[in-house]
Amino acid sequence: MSLFVKKPLEQLLAQGNEKGLKRTLGAGNLIALGIGAIIGAGLFVRTAAAAGQAAGPAVTISFIVAAIGCAFAGLCYAEFASMIPVAGSAYAYSYVTMGELVAWIIGWALIMEYALGAATVSIAWSEYLNKLLGGGIPYEWCHSPFESYTDSLGVLHQGLINAPALVILLALTLLLIKGTQESATFNSIIVFVKVGIVLLFIFIGWKFINPANHSPYMIPEGTPAVTDSAGKIIADYSGFFKHGIGGVLGGAAIVFFAFIGFDAVSTAAQEAKNPKRDMPIGILGSLVVCTILYILFGHVLTGVANWQDFVDPEKGREASVAYAISTYMPGYEWLSTAVTIAILAGFSSVILVMLMGQSRVFYTMSQDGLVPKVLSDLHPRFQTPYKANMILFVFVGLFSAFVPGHVAGDLTSFGTLFAFVLVSIGVWLLRIKSPNIERPFKSPLSSPYFPLVPILGAVICGAMIVALDAQTLTVAMGWMVLGLIVYFVYSKKNSKLQNAQK
C-alpha cells in the first residue's frame, strides 16, 4: 500500500454531490464568513504584539508582506475551491494532488490553524471581557497556569484557568450545532458591527496621530531589552527578526495570524449554493477588504500610541485599542467602551468560523476513514456534524483554559503557513497532472511551465515559517511527529482508499 496513494478527483467531486451538508450559503455569506474570521484577535491584539516585539511602526509594512503571501496563496485556494467544491479545504486538495500521507499531514496541521486559532481568540475574548469589567475578574480565573505577573506591590499572581474563554466556546459550539445558516446570519450581523467600529477608530484616531511616534519607522539596531518590575525580560531586540528589516519580517510572521480566515471560507464549499462562482468571490473578496483595513488600522494605532507602549502586556498590549483611546484620545472614552464591546462581538465571530472550519475538516477526514467515524455523524434534525463540534469544544477548551494565548497564536500561524505552502504547490502539480479539468477560476501566472504565483506563494509563506521563534517551531515539529504516529497507528489501517486497494 502506497503512502502517497492519491484520491481520484472524480471520487472527490462525487463525494461533494452526496446528500449531507446543506447548501445554504451565497457569495455575501461567504465574504462575511471570511471577514468574520479574519478581523479579530489578529487585528486588535497581534498588531500591538508585532509592533512591540519586532516591527515598531513598520507593522504596516509587515501587514503588506503578510498580505502578499496571502494573496498568492489565496489565488491558489480560489482555483481549488471553485474546481473541488467540497468541505476539507487544503486537506482535500492535497489528497488529490500529493497523496494520502501529505493530506494527513496537512489535515493534522489544520488542527493547529482552526482549533488553536479558536483557542487563541477565545483567550483574547477573555482579556477584553476583563477590560470591559474594569479588571473585575481575578487574574487567577482568566489566565492559564503558565502565566503570572508581579504587581506594583510586589505580590505574585499565578493563573489557574481561563474560565471566560470556556464560556464563549460553549455558547458558540451550541450555535454551530443548531445550524449553518443560523450561524452565518449571526456572523453577518457581527461583521457589520465590528467593521463599522474599525472604520470609526480609523476616522477619529487619524486626527490624534503624533508624527513623532512614526520616527524611526523601524526598531533601530541596538535597542535595549525591556524588563518588567521583577526584572524579567519581556522583549529582546538583539535577534535578526527583532529589529530593522528583519523585524518587519518577524512582525509579518506575527501578524500573519491576522489573515487567518479567508482560507476558512474554503471549508464551507460543500455548503455553498453556487461554489464555482461564489468561492473565489468569498476568498479573495474578504482578503482584499481586510488587507486595506489592516494597513490603515496599524498606521493609526502606532501613530496614536508609541510602539513602546505595546511592549508590556500589563500596560497596553493585551487591550491595545482601548488603551490607546483612553490614554491618548481625550474626550472619546465612550469610544473605548464601544470598541471593547465590538471587539468582544468580533472575536465571537472569529471563534465561530474557526470552530466551523475545523469541524468540516474533521467531517471530510472522517469520511475518508482517517479519523473516527463519529466525527462525520450529522445531527438528525439540524444536519450539522454535532459530535465533531462537541469533541472539538473539549479539545479547544483545554487549550484555551490552560495554555497562554501567545503560544497558541504562533502555533496557529505555523499550521496556516504550512497549509498555504502545500496548497500553492498543489495547484501547480494539478496543472501538470490534469491540465484539461474544468477550472471555473484560474489563478494567473500558474501554468505548468511558468508557475510564478504558486512558487511565490510557497516561498513567501515558507519564509514566514522560518521567521517564527525557535520555541514555536520546536513545539510545531513535536505536534507533527505526534501526527505521524497517529497516522501509522490508526489512520493508515482505517483508510478507505488504502483498504480499497488491498
* DSSP 8-state assignment for residue 7: P
d(CA 114, CA 42): 14
Please report whether residue 10 resides in a domain: no
Please report whether residue 158 resides in a domain: no
Residue 87 scores a pLDDT above 70: no
Which percentage of the chain shows pLDDT scores above 90?
A: 14
Helix axes of 27-38 and 333-367: crossing angle, nearest 10 degrees: 110
Q: What are the residues facing 226 on neighbouring strands?
A: 235
How does pLDDT run across 446-469, given as a tens digit for each residue?
Answer: 888 889 999 998 998 888 788 787
pLDDT higher at 418 or 231: 418
Please report whether residue 227 resides in a domain: no
Please report whether residue 344 resides in a domain: yes
The predicted pLDDT at position 463 comes to 84
User: Mapping DSSP to helix (H, G, I), strand (E, B) and coil, where does residue 441 land?
Assistant: coil
> DSSP readout, 208-276?
G--GGGGSSSSPPTTPPPEE-TTS-EEE---SGGGSHHHHHHHHHHHHGGGGTTGGGGGGGGGGBSSHH
The predicted pLDDT at position 356 comes to 85
Under 8 Å between Cβ of 59 and 255: yes
The predicted pLDDT at position 211 comes to 95
The predicted pLDDT at position 314 comes to 61
The predicted pLDDT at position 205 comes to 94
Out of 129-133, 402-406, 423-427, 431-435, least confident range: 402-406
Residue 317 scores a pLDDT above 70: no
Residue 27 scores a pLDDT above 70: yes
Into how many domains does the chain fold?
1
The predicted pLDDT at position 405 comes to 66
The predicted pLDDT at position 274 comes to 78
Block residue for cell numbers 480560489? 78
Name the grid cell of 384: 450539522
How does pLDDT run across 263-306, given as a tens digit for each residue?
Answer: 777 777 667 777 777 878 888 888 888 889 999 999 999 999 99
Q: Which domain holds residue 313?
A: 21-130+165-211+238-494
Under 8 Å between Cβ of 118 and 355: yes
Please report whether residue 139 resides in a domain: no
Residue 171 scores a pLDDT above 60: yes
How does pLDDT run across 96-146, given as a tens digit for each residue?
Answer: 888 889 889 988 888 877 888 788 888 888 887 887 787 778 878 877 777
Residue 315 scores a pLDDT above 70: no
Residues in the chain: 502
Q: Which of 415, 414, 480, 428 is nearest to 457 (CA)?
A: 428
Q: Which of 26-40, 408-422, 487-501 is predicted most confidently?
A: 487-501
CATH of the domain at 410: 1.20.1740.10
Please report whether residue 205 resides in a domain: yes
Q: What is the mean pLDDT of residues 404-421?
A: 76
d(CA 68, CA 52): 22
User: Mapping DSSP to helix (H, G, I), strand (E, B) and coil, where does residue 167 land?
Assistant: helix
Please report whether residue 155 resides in a domain: no
Q: What is the mean pLDDT of residues 27-45?
A: 75
Q: Which of 414-418, 423-427, 473-477, 484-488 is predicted most confidently?
A: 484-488
The predicted pLDDT at position 347 comes to 83
Out of 73-87, 140-154, 179-193, 294-308, least confident range: 140-154
The predicted pLDDT at position 455 comes to 92
Taking CA atoms, 96 is separated from 3, 4, 21, 391, 403, in Å, by 13, 10, 21, 27, 35
Q: What are the residues facing 447 on neighbouring strands?
A: 450
| Confidence at 207, pLDDT banded by 50, 70, 90 | very high
Residue 319 scores a pLDDT above 70: no
Please report whether residue 233 resides in a domain: no
Residue 19 scores a pLDDT above 60: no
Residue 247 scores a pLDDT above 80: yes
Q: What is the mean pLDDT of residues 137-161?
A: 74
Tell me the average pLDDT of the chain.
82
The predicted pLDDT at position 269 comes to 67
Report the 10 Å Cβ neighbour count for 450: 9
| Confidence at 259, pLDDT banded by 50, 70, 90 | confident
